Amino acid sequence: MSELLTRAKAWADQDPNASDRAELTALIGRAESGDRTAIAELEDRFRGPLAFGTAGLRGVLAAGESRMNEAVVLRATYALAQHLLENVDRAAERGIVIGRDARLRSDELALAAAEVAHAQGLRVYFLSDPAPTPVTAFAVQDLKAAGGVVVTASHNPPEYNGYKVFYENGAQIISPIDEDIAKRITLAPPACDVPRRKLDDVMEFEPARLESKYLSAVRLHREPKLELAPIRIVYTPLHGVGGRFVSLALEMAGFQDFSFVREQAAPDGRFPTVSFPNPEEPTAMELLLQLAREKKADVALANDPDADRLAAAVPDTSGVFRTLSGNEIGVLLAHHLLTRDGSTDPSRLVVTTVVSSQLLASMAKALGVRYAETLTGFKWIANEGMRQEREGARFVFGYEEALGYTAGTVARDKDGVGAAVIFAEMVAAAKARGETIPTYLRRIKDQFGHFVARQKSVTLPGSSGAARIQEIMAALRRDPPKALGAVSVASFWDLSSRKRSHADGRTEEVTGLVPNDTVILTLEDGSRIAVRPSGTEPKIKLYLEVAERASPGEEASAIEARGGARLSALLSALAEVTGLSNEL
């Protein structure tokens, strides 16, 4: 207890933010008086520095070393600036782009980061108004900057914020860059001693011109020779920053009939109409689907709060709207992009992740285009795309099942604005040829395979939750299951050691991927299961997929139901193996 109080008091003394300092001082006082709740809260706020992990930082907004706050951002930006100045050619001259979303304190944290970078001698391109994350990614490339930062917590709950870092190539940072920055954070001065310099007019930069260039680049996603039918679009930014950009992008692409969910149109970091602003959550889509029914829309689109993800719902033949999964959107967009212009260029490349559907691999093989799988996370997709471009590939599309998509090279990150334009084009093209999106998807599956997938996440918060997640992963590695229910396990792939073990006793080393805390089980019937901790939330994630054979003329609902039953059985068996039966 005394050691905890000493650390907490030292942090409070060094915190330059008056509000955070007062908050922490009050919590320390309650802990000193014996308040058990305060002691537990203090322990959680000082269980170690907020980890500099998946492309940066993310955590609950509050004072303390394990939380997201100004003091943490100051030290992180100092470390980032030092790394760029020492490792990127002409970094000071090329500068750094700093953007933000509209979450609580995003403006304050972004300005703090800009002032630290400026004090370190970096030219600063400061996006003073909230903008989508892909705009920052685009800006790094367009301005040939040394790096970039966007203050965002993407789709996390309202109490979160984060700090996402891009490198000079416009993609999120990867190892060993993140490791070097993390090491430098530990060596950074106390937050109160980190130099800051107010931004001034010397940095001539017009964010509006940059935003206009980004939107013009997004407009080029459209295929001008494609026949399109008029469509009606409804859209929500989920209280985020996508509204203005998507509206302009759709208009520039020639779409005129679109409506917003009025209650969610304005940026608001409190997210008053949703408890969890993640379009993967069914409750987050309720107002959008209601508007879609009222307007008799052809498509309903949603971005997450920083507009790097895209969700979509479409009506079936009876007019009932169905929200598409991330995998379904991914394969639809991939097929549309690969076939819309009649190209047969074998250098075209599509990329997805090891936890996404196997359908894209089947499609790519049949269409004769390049295909690659990466670790989970868009930083890996972007970097793999650039690696293969150096070998002559032409990157067409990349996606991950968590609603992240990008086309071409406009942004080397997820781009929910660009994806919205392409999805609208796809709907209009399908309508022009007399096809609905459900029938288009069925045609794709009939041609390349009926894969039925499901993803489940279990939230295990706090230090006890983190320990339990670690133990689940360790137990799977110590004693890999031989079967899940009635189906034998054919192979067990531990991505942390790159070792794949087969049921017949063979083992092999799988190279090409950076070691990662993920395990993948392939079953004898072709089913695939992946288990991994989330890189941004206190969750363990389970990904399950089965392959189904469809009879001629069989209804899609029957195929989905049959696959769903198999998935439910697999999920129950997996819950027993992992000890998550009570949570699932």
Residue 243: DSSP 8-state:
H
CA distance 329 to 341: 19
Distance (Å) of CA 358 to CA 327, 373, 402, 414, 545: 9, 10, 15, 20, 8
Neighbouring-strand partners of residue 312: 301
Taking each helix axis from N to C end, the angle separating 242-252 and 416-432, rounded to the nearest 10 degrees, works out to: 40
- On whether the CB atoms of residues 334 and 315 are closer than 8 A, the answer is no
- On whether the CB atoms of residues 295 and 259 are closer than 8 A, the answer is yes
- On whether the CB atoms of residues 382 and 413 are closer than 8 A, the answer is yes
- The active-site residue out of 106, 154, 362, 491 is 154
Closest CA to 11 of 34, 41, 40, 45: 45
CA distance 187 to 189: 7
CA distance 165 to 413: 11
| 154: annotated active-site residue | yes
CA distance 513 to 523: 22
**DSSP per-residue letters across 358-404:** THHHHHHHHHT-EEEEE-SSHHHHHHHHHHHHTTT-EEEEEEETTTE
Number of other CB atoms surrounding residue 247 within 10 Å: 17
Find the distance separating the first CA and the last CA of the chain, reported in whole Å. Answer: 36
What token pair was written down for 210? 């940059």
Is residue 109 within a helix (H) or strand (E), and if so which, with residue range? helix 106-119
What token pair was written down for 381? 């997709």
CA distance 334 to 367: 11
- Residues catalogued as catalytic: 154
